[in-house]
Amino acid sequence: MSLAAGIARRAGRRALSSVPALFGVIVFTFLLMRVLPGDPAVFFASGPNAGQAEIQMIREQMGLDKPIPQQLLLYLKDIATGNLGRSMNTGQPVVTDLINRLPASLELTFTALLFALSLALPLGILAALKPNSLIDHGVRFLCSLGVCVPTFVSGLLLIYAFYYILGIAPDPTGRLDVFAAQPPVVTGFMLIDAAIAGEWESWRAAASQLVLPAATMALFVLAPLARMTRAAMLAVMTSDFVRTGEALGLSRRRVVLVYALRNALLPVITIMGIVFSTMLGANVLVEKVFSWPGVASYALDALLTSDYAPVQGFVLLMAFIFVLVNLTIDVLYGLADPRVSIE
């Protein structure tokens, strides 16, 4: 009981202390976008006879004809009412776009993280148990490779091998084969929606679309996770309680997986949080290569055309997710090591 209460107290305090940070992010992004060179109204004035009149029309449509302080106040008021503005690139309200696209990014990121963890943890543990062995070097090689090869290269390579040459993978175009039936949207997560609707055909199609992009991303974040696991395990394996456990004749399996791993997990969880947030924002190249309709490629397109509203909306969303992830990590800390809650 006291454990849960401690976690809740800490989570509450964290949530509260993140409010000023979020506000700062809003104001900062708002100003940054306006400081950037490039006038979106000029760019979007794309009619065959675009003159000053049309530019002025778009400027008014985007609310850019007012002085900046007034724009900021209007923007803050809009945010308070849940309105993040309208994207010029897609012609839709930013909130709608983000709601449609966030699940795509999350689904991809979660899957990739799952792939990465299921590979990184065993590899890290193995490398730590036999330092400087062939396995250790092998893991180091794999990690270096994953970090060195940019995601768009590994992505294109995977597409080339599995789609173009071997023909095993489906065409790398988004979340679902264009000819497959779309399951009714409930959560926005294709796998969950298809499962709810019981459309296993669609579920298989969605899952097979997910494999290549998730593998590409997993390869990229394998290194920090595996290396961190190895380092933490190495430190823990030489500590007193492990030696005691071994001296008391506990099985090797129990010592490693129960006593050592649980104590080594703290830094891994920290890294996991960081990796997750980075992946969500930085997977833009993977999204581009696999035509994945996620939030990162959405934000990049908006940034290139100085489409203010979507970029601001995206940054705000990312800040919000970062806060959430940190909260979750805090909760996980408490579970992995009860001492953390005693401050």
Partner 1 sequence: MKLNRRHLLAGTAAVATAPYLGGSAAAQTRAETLRYVTGATVNTLDPTMPGSTREAFGVSVNVYDRLVSFGRKQRDGNWVFDIDNIRGEIAEKVDISPDGMTFTFHIRKNAKFHDGTPVTAADVKWSYDRAVSARSLAAAQIGTGSWTKPEQFTIVDTHTVVGKIDKPDRLALPNLCTLYAIVFNSTLVKKHVTPQDPWGQAWTKDNTAGSGAYTVESFRPGEQVILRRNDAWTGGVDGKPAPFRRIICQTIPEAATRASLIEKGDADLSIDLQPSDIDTLVQRGRVKAISTPQFNAFSMIAFNTKMPPFDNKKVRQAIAAALPYDSLFKAGLFERGAKLYGGTWSGTPTDASFPQPMPYKQDVAKAKALLTEAGFPNGFDTFFAFNLGSAAFAEPIAALVKEALAAINIRVEIQKLPDAQISTMVTERKLPFFIETSIAWLPSTDYFFRTFLYGPQRWNYSGWNDQRIADIAEKARFETDKAKYDAACKEMIAIMAEETPIVMLWQPNQDAVMPKNIDGYTYGYHRQVDFRDVKRT
Between 86 and 227, CB nearer to partner 1: 86
* b/e map 273-311, b = 16+ CB within 10 Å: bebbbebbbebbbbbbbbebbbbbbbbbbbbebbbbbbb
- CB of 105 or CB of 263, closer to partner 1: 105
Binding residue count for partner 1, defined by CB under 8 A? 53
Question: Which one, of 245, 253, 273, 247, lies nearest residue 336 by Cα?
Answer: 273
Among 85, 103, 124, 174, binds partner 1 (CB under 8 A): 174
Smallest separation, CB 91 to partner 1 (Å): 4
Q: Which stretch binds partner 1 (CB under 8 A): 132-140, 155-163, 189-197, 231-239?
A: 155-163
- Name the minimum Å distance from CB 225 to partner 1: 27
Among positions 71, 83, 208, 291, the unique one binding partner 1 when judged by CB under 8 A? 291
Within residues 219-278, the interface with partner 1 by CB under 8 A covers none
Closer to partner 1 by Cβ: residue 302 or 323:
302
Letters for 33-72 (x = contact with partner 1 by CB under 8 A, - = none) are ---xxxxx-xxxxxxxxxxxxxx-xx--x-----------
In the chain, what is the straight-line distance between the N-terminal and C-terminal CA atoms, in Å? 17
Distance of CA 298 to the CA centre of its chain: 14
- Which two three-digit tokens encode residue 6? 């401690």
Of 23, 164, 241, 320, which lies in the binding site for partner 1, with binding defined by CB under 8 A? 164
Closer residue to partner 1, CB minimum distance, 196 or 303: 303
CB of 238 to partner 1, least distance (A): 48
Min CB(33)–partner 1 separation in Å: 11
> Would you say 57 or 335 has its CB closer to partner 1?
57
Q: Does 171 bind partner 1 (CB under 8 A)?
A: yes
Provide the angle, in degrees to the nearest 10, between the axes of the packed helices 261-282 and 295-304.
40
Beta bridge partners of 86: 93
42 or 325: CB nearest partner 1: 42
What's the CA gap between 321 and 101, in Å, rounded?
14
CA distances in angstroms from 208 to 183, 212, 290, listed in the order given: 15, 8, 13
Q: Determine contact, residues 340/333, Cβ cutoff 8 Å.
A: yes
Q: How far apart are CA 289 and CA 270, in angstroms?
A: 29
- Alpha-carbon distance of 313 to 302, in angstroms, equals 11
* Residue with Cβ nearer partner 1 (67 or 179): 179
Tell me the CA distances in angstroms from 118 to 150, 219, 226, 269, 314, one per residue in order. Answer: 21, 12, 10, 14, 30
Distance CA 16, CA 19 (A): 6
Contact code string over 78-107 relative to partner 1, x by CB under 8 A:
----------xxxxx----x--x-------
Stretch that binds partner 1, among 237-245, 250-258, 285-293, 332-340 (CB under 8 A): 285-293
In degrees and rounded to multiples of 5, residue 93 shows phi and psi of -60, 140
> Among the candidate windows 4-12, 127-135, 169-177, 270-278, which touches partner 1 by CB under 8 A?
169-177
Binding site for partner 1 (CB under 8 A): 36-40, 42-55, 57-58, 61, 88-92, 97, 100, 156, 159-160, 163-164, 167, 171-174, 178-179, 288-291, 293, 297-298, 301, 303-306
